[in-house]
Chains A and B, each alone.
Chain A
Amino acid sequence: MVAAGVEALVGAAVPAAAAASGAAAALRLAAAGVEREAAVVRAEVARARGADAPGWRSRAAEAYRARLAEVVARGARDAGALDELARALRAHAAGAEARAEAVVAAVATASALADRAAQEGEELGPRLLRRAEGVLEEALRAVGGRAAALADGARW
C-alpha cells in the first residue's frame, strides 16, 4: 500500500519536472527574442538621431533638437530596459530549471528509499517509504503542488 503511494507520487513528479524544464526552454527563447528587439530599438535610435533637420536654424529648431535628444535618450533607455527584461527572463528560466532538477533528484532519492524499504523488515520498511513520500511531496510542493496543480500551468 505504502509502495503504491510512492509510485503514484513518482508518476506525478516526472511530468512536473518535464514541464518545468520545458518552461525554462521557452523562457530562454523569449529572452533571445527580447534581445533581438533591443537591437532593433538601438538601430532605430541611431536612425532617429539623424532626424535633426539640418536645414532648419532658429530658436524653435533648437527646441526641437532638444526634444529630439530627449526622445533619443528615451530610446536608448528603452533598449537598456529590454536588456533588463531579457536578463529577468533568463533568471526566470534558471529558476524553473533549478526546480525541475530538484524534482528529478527527489524522484531518484525516493525511488532509492522505496527499493531499500522493500528489502527491510516490517519495522524499517514503512518508515523508509514514508520518508520517500515526504521527499517527493516536498519536491512537488516546490514546483507548485501536486500533478493537478501543475496541469494548470497557464495560471499567471
Chain B
Amino acid sequence: MSPVVSPNGRTVVGPAAGPAGSALTGALVEELAGAVVDRAVGPGVGTGITTGSGAGGGAGREDEVLVVRGGAGGLVADGLAMAGAAQVLHRSALVLGEVGADVVALVARAALTAAPVVDPAGAGAVAQALAVAVGPGGTGGTAAACGALAARLAVAGAAYEEAEGLVDRSLARLRGGAAAAAGSALGAAARRPEVWAASGSTVLVAASATALVWVAVRGGGLVGEVGDAAAGALADGRLDPRERAALSASAAAMPDALEVLAREDAAAAGGALAAEASRLAAQHPRALQHLVAALPPLLAAAARGGGGGPRPSATATALPHGDRWAWPPRDVADLAAGVAVLAAQDGALRPTRVEVRAAGPARSVTPARGTADLLARARPMAGGGALSPAGRATSAAPIAVERVVDAAGARRWVVVLPPTQTTAAPWDEVTTNPADLGTDLRGVGELPTAMTRAAVEAMDRAGVAPDEPVLLVGYSQGGITAAQLAADPALRSRFAVDAVLTAGAPVGGLDVPPDVAVLSLEHEEDWIASLEGADAPATPSRTTVLRDLPDAATAPGPGEPADGMAGHDLGRYRETAALVDASDDPSLVTWRARVAPYLAGEGTTASARLFLAERRPPGGG
C-alpha cells in the first residue's frame, strides 16, 4: 500500500494498482508518497506519522493520529491563482529578454566609437561584464528559467482544474448512476401489487438498505481508488498526456466496472455478500455518508417508477418561513428540507415562535485556554440528564454568550450553542425545547430554525455590537446551528462572525464564506457527523480534523446501549480538541492563532450570560 494524498488534503492510503488505479505507475505514486506525512500528525511529535487510512480501514493505525483536511496548511489548489501567477512570470520572462537585447544594443552602439581602440583594456572589461549580465548566467538564462517556470505553472493549474472536475464528475456519476439503478429496480418492484401484498414496505426498506450498503462498500471503494489516484497523480502539479489518458479511461470505465462488480457479487452467495457488507459497514461508520448521499438519486429514480424513463426535472419551490420544496430531491439538503417541511415544527406547515429569556445576570468566568476549553463550554448543555423525548431535564434550550475583553479594552464574543436536547420525533410536540430533532432536520436541510433565531436574539440581548468579532462554538446540533449562522449573509451583516468551532456536527454541506475560519472535529466512529452526506470542503479557511478513536473508547460500557453513540461523546471530542491544541500541524497552528484573541491572555477578562430559548405557539403569549 502506497500512501497518496488527494488535492483536497485528505490523507489516505490506497493501492497503487487496482481496477482503476493500475494505469498509474508505481513509480509515480512512490514519487508522490512523501506528501502524506505532511498531514497526519500526532500530539507533540510534529509531522511525520501516518500508519493508517482515512478511507481504507484502521489496520495498524496509531490511536492518536489526527488526519487534518484543509486549513492554512491544507493541500489545495486554486487554478486561477496559479494561472495568474504564470502570467506574471511569463511577463517577467519577456521583460528580462527585452532587457538583455536592449543592453546589448546600448553597449554595441558605444563600441562603434573609438573607445575599444583608445582603451582596449577597458573594452575587455566591458565585454566580460556584458557576457555575465546578459549571457546564459545572466538575464538570458533568467528569462529562460522564468519562462519555463511560467509554462509549467500554467500547465499545473490547468491540470488541477481539470482533475477536480474529473474527480467530482466521477463521484457524482457513480453515486448517481448506481443509486439510480437501485432506485429504478425498487420503483419497478413497487409497482407490482404482489410485492406489496407479500411484504410491503419491509421489502422496500430492506432492498434499499442492501442496495445502498452495496453502493457504499463496493462502489465507494472503486471511486475512491480512481479519485485518489487522480489526486495523487496531480499532487506534483504535473499531468502528462499518458497519465491524463489513463485517468480519463479509468473514470469513464467506472460505471462498467461497477456493473461487473454487481454481476460478480450477485453470482456469489447472497449471504456472503451481506456478511461482508455488514462487516465493512461496521468497520466504517462513515460509510453512512455515502448511503445518505446516494438517497436523493435513488429516490429520483424510484419516483420514475423504474424502466429508465426520462429523469424528472427538479425545481425548488420557495415556501413561507424560509422553507423550500424540491421533488425529486437534488441533494441531501433538499431531502432533509422536504422531510422537515412535512414533519418538523417551525416551518411553513407548523410555524412556531421562539421566546428567549435571560437566566440570571452576567457572571465573571475564566477565559478559555484553548480549543478543548472552548468545547468544554458546551458540557453543561450536553449533561443534565439523559437525552430523552422529554428533553435534558429542561424544556428550554440554553445559549451561552461570553464577552471577552482584552487588556486594551477590545471586546470579542464567544457564543456557545447547545446540542440536541430531546429525542422527541420531529412531529411530536411533547417538549417546548427548540433544540429538537426537527431543528436537526431543518439544519441539515439548510433551512432557518428556531435555534438560529434564538441565537440571534440572544446575541442582540447580550449586546454584541456589529463590529465586535464573534466566535461561534457548537457541539452536535450546536455545530450545525453555528455553521448555519456563519453561512447566513443576513446574520453576517448584523454580526462580525469571525470563526466557528464545531464538533460531531454534519456541516459539510453548509457554505461558510472564506473570511470565516472554521474548525470541525469529526470522529471516524461518529455517524452523526456523516448525516449531511458530504465532506466539508478542504479550503484554506476550513479545516476538518478526523480522529480514529481507539477501539476501547467506542465499545459500550457495562449496561450501555450499543447505539453507536460512543463516537459522538462530547468528552471524546474534548480529548480530540486537546490533541488539536497540542498539534503543530500548520492548519491547526493557524487556527489557534486565529482564536487566540478569544482566549486567556495577559489582562483578558470574560463574563458570560446564559439565555434560555423555548418554543411558543405562533401569536401566543
B112 with A20: CB separation less than 8 A: no
A55 with B122: CB separation less than 8 A: no
A34 with B35: CB separation less than 8 A: no
CB of A138 within 8 A of chain B?
no
Choose one: B115, B129, B141; the contact of A74 (CB below 8 Å): B141
Knowing A23-B114, A50-B88, say if A55 contacts B76 (CB, 8 Å): yes
Choose one: A68, A143, A153; the contact of B149 (CB below 8 Å): A68
B114 with A51: CB separation less than 8 A: no
Q: Which residue of B lies closest to A75 (CB)?
A: B142
A48 with B117: CB separation less than 8 A: no
Among A6-14, A90-98, A119-127, the stretch that binds chain B is: A90-98
- B-contact bits for A25-53, CB 8 A (1 contact / 0 none): 01101100110010011001101101111
CB of A134 within 8 A of chain B?
no
A51 with B236: CB separation less than 8 A: no
Q: What separation, in Å, do the CA atoms of A40 and B96 have in the docked complex? A: 9
CB of B536 within 8 A of chain A?
no
- B-contact bits for A132-149, CB 8 A (1 contact / 0 none): 000000000011100001
B114 with A153: CB separation less than 8 A: yes
Knowing A33-B102, A51-B89, A153-B113, say if A56 contacts B119 (CB, 8 Å): no
Choose one: B96, B103, B128, B237; the contact of A34 (CB below 8 Å): B103
B114 with A19: CB separation less than 8 A: yes
Q: Determine the chain A residues whose CB is within 8 A of the CB of B153 once the complex forms.
A: 51, 53, 64
B156 with A144: CB separation less than 8 A: no
Q: What separation, in Å, do the CA atoms of A64 and B160 have in the docked complex? A: 14
Q: What separation, in Å, do the CA atoms of A16 and B238 have in the docked complex? A: 62
Choose one: B77, B86, B91; the contact of A58 (CB below 8 Å): B77
A48 with B111: CB separation less than 8 A: no
CB of B78 within 8 A of chain A?
yes
Knowing A23-B110, A88-B125, A143-B117, say if A81 contacts B138 (CB, 8 Å): yes
Knowing A30-B107, A55-B540, A57-B74, say if A74 contacts B145 (CB, 8 Å): yes
B142 with A71: CB separation less than 8 A: yes
A55 with B81: CB separation less than 8 A: yes
Q: Determine the chain A residues whose CB is within 8 A of the CB of B122 once the complex forms.
A: 88, 91-96
Q: Determine the chain B residues whose CB is within 8 A of the CB of A37 once the complex forms.
A: 99, 102-103, 106
Q: What separation, in Å, do the CA atoms of A27 and B106 have in the docked complex? A: 9
Knowing A74-B141, A143-B118, say if A156 contacts B123 (CB, 8 Å): yes
- A-contact bits for B123-147, CB 8 A (1 contact / 0 none): 1011011101100001101100110
A99 with B119: CB separation less than 8 A: yes
Q: Determine the chain B residues whose CB is within 8 A of the CB of A27 once the complex forms.
A: 110, 113, 115, 126
Q: Determine the chain B residues whose CB is within 8 A of the CB of A153 once the complex forms.
A: 112-117
Q: Determine the chain B residues whose CB is within 8 A of the CB of A70 once the complex forms.
A: 145
B85 with A89: CB separation less than 8 A: no
Q: What separation, in Å, do the CA atoms of A142 and B120 have in the docked complex? A: 11
A24 with B115: CB separation less than 8 A: yes
**Contact residue range for chain B?**
35 or more
Knowing A48-B146, A75-B96, A99-B119, say if A56 contacts B133 (CB, 8 Å): no
Q: Determine the chain A residues whose CB is within 8 A of the CB of B581 once the complex forms.
A: none
Q: Determine the chain A residues whose CB is within 8 A of the CB of B88 once the complex forms.
A: 47-48, 50-51
Q: Determine the chain A residues whose CB is within 8 A of the CB of B236 once the complex forms.
A: 59-60, 63
B115 with A85: CB separation less than 8 A: no
Q: What separation, in Å, do the CA atoms of A124 and B102 have in the docked complex? A: 58
CB of A128 within 8 A of chain B?
no
CB of B109 within 8 A of chain A?
yes
- B-contact bits for A56-84, CB 8 A (1 contact / 0 none): 11111101100110110011001001101
Choose one: A20, A41, A61, A74; the contact of B114 (CB below 8 Å): A20
B118 with A144: CB separation less than 8 A: yes
Choose one: A59, A74, A155; the contact of B235 (CB below 8 Å): A59
Q: Which residue of A lies closest to B135 (CB)?
A: A81
Q: Give the shortest distance, in Å, between A44 (CB) and chain B (any CB).
A: 5
Q: What separation, in Å, do the CA atoms of A149 and B119 have in the docked complex? A: 14
CB of A5 within 8 A of chain B?
no
A99 with B118: CB separation less than 8 A: yes
Q: What separation, in Å, do the CA atoms of A78 and B143 have in the docked complex? A: 10
CB of B34 within 8 A of chain A?
yes
B133 with A26: CB separation less than 8 A: no
Q: Determine the chain A residues whose CB is within 8 A of the CB of B237 once the complex forms.
A: 58, 60-61, 63-64
CB of B185 within 8 A of chain A?
no
CB of A4 within 8 A of chain B?
no
Q: Give the shortest distance, in Å, between A143 (CB) and chain B (any CB).
A: 5
Choose one: A24, A84, A155; the contact of B133 (CB below 8 Å): A84
9 pairs of residues in contact across A and B, judged by CB atoms under 8 Å: A16-B118, A19-B118, A26-B115, A50-B88, A58-B35, A71-B146, A85-B126, A85-B133, A144-B117
Q: Kindly list 11 other residue pairs between chains A and B, CB separation below 8 angstroms, not including A37-B106, A50-B85, A95-B121.
A: A33-B102, A37-B102, A44-B99, A53-B85, A57-B9, A57-B75, A58-B235, A85-B130, A96-B114, A143-B114, A155-B117
A contacts, CB < 8 Å to B: 16, 19-20, 22-24, 26-27, 29-30, 33-34, 37, 40-41, 44-45, 47-48, 50-61, 63-64, 67-68, 70-71, 74-75, 78, 81-82, 84-85, 87-89, 91-96, 99-100, 142-144, 149-150, 152-156
